[in-house]
Amino acid sequence: MHRLLDFLARLLTVTCHLDVTSLDRFDSCPYFKLWATAKIVLKLTSLYDKTNSGGMMVSHVTLSANQLSNSDSRREQLIEICETLPEITYEPTGDGHFVFRIRKKNFAYYLFDHHGDGVISFCCKSSLSEQRRLIRSDAETFFVPAYLGSKGWVGIRLDLDEVDWEIVTELARRAYQATAPRKLAALID
């Protein structure tokens, strides 16, 4: 088993230019070394795009013409909705993304093709139970956003043919109330 693990470590080092010498510290626990090596292999194979000519890259989904044509007007409509909330600020972050804040606390994001996922969406603070309920009710429209989904945040797609702006408004309002100081949150009915 040790020879197999050492062979895999050398193979990863040579073929992927990946330094796996840090796995040597797990020699006393061969099962953990096997697990760590397998995890590295799985990560590398998930990043490999077979359509690429032998290089490593993350696969990207291209936005459709319909998604692109509606994105500006829908982003402006989202900004208008959020501007109705007291004392919010918003600013661009990254490539086409916007963050919405109340007194330096983030409560929502506008995500434009986040990490090449081919989705334009609004992601906001919520609870885990609300997140599960929304996704269960309509899995095409709602999703668990990357990074913040484990904290209960929920995403709603803005690139579908029909967007329910009342739901977007309600989600923004709830996220604001969950983040804002009590006096400001009480101003929203």
Digit-coded pLDDT (tens) for 18-36: 444 555 555 556 555 555 5
**Residue whose structure tokens are 């969406």:** 121
The Cα 73–Cα 86 span in angstroms is 23
- Burial degree of 136 (CB within 10 A; 0-12, 13-18, 19+): exposed
Domain membership flag for residue 54: no
Give mean pLDDT, residues 73-96.
94
| One domain for residues 85 and 175 | yes
The Cα 135–Cα 83 span in angstroms is 26
Work out whether strand 97-102 and strand 88-93 pair parallel, antiparallel, or are unpaired: antiparallel
Q: 104 or 61: which carries more pLDDT confidence?
A: 104
Domain membership flag for residue 52: no
| One domain for residues 167 and 86 | yes
The per-residue pLDDT for range 50-82, each reduced to its tens digit, is 333 344 444 567 888 888 888 899 999 999 999
| One domain for residues 86 and 13 | no
Tell me the residue range of the domain where 20 lies.
2-47
Report the number of distinct structural domains present in the chain.
2
Instruction: Identify which of 101, 121, 124 has the alpha carbon closest to the alpha carbon of residue 112.
Output: 121
Paired strand residues for 116: none
Task: Please give the DSSP secondary-structure letter assigned to residue 90.
Answer: E
Q: Helices (H) and strands (E) in the chain — how many of each? A: 6, 6
pLDDT at residue number 179: 96
| One domain for residues 121 and 147 | yes
Domain membership flag for residue 59: no
| Chain-centre distance for alpha carbon 101 | 18
Q: Is the pTM of this model over 0.85?
A: no
| Cβ(119)–Cβ(141) below 8 Å | no
Tell whether the model's pLDDT for residue 181 goes beyond 80: yes
38 band by pLDDT with thresholds 50, 70 and 90: low
The CATH number for 175's domain is 3.90.1150.30
| One domain for residues 41 and 69 | no
| One domain for residues 85 and 137 | yes
4 band by pLDDT with thresholds 50, 70 and 90: low
pLDDT at residue number 15: 45
Tell whether the model's pLDDT for residue 17 goes beyond 60: no
Domain membership flag for residue 168: yes
CA distance between the termini of the chain: 64
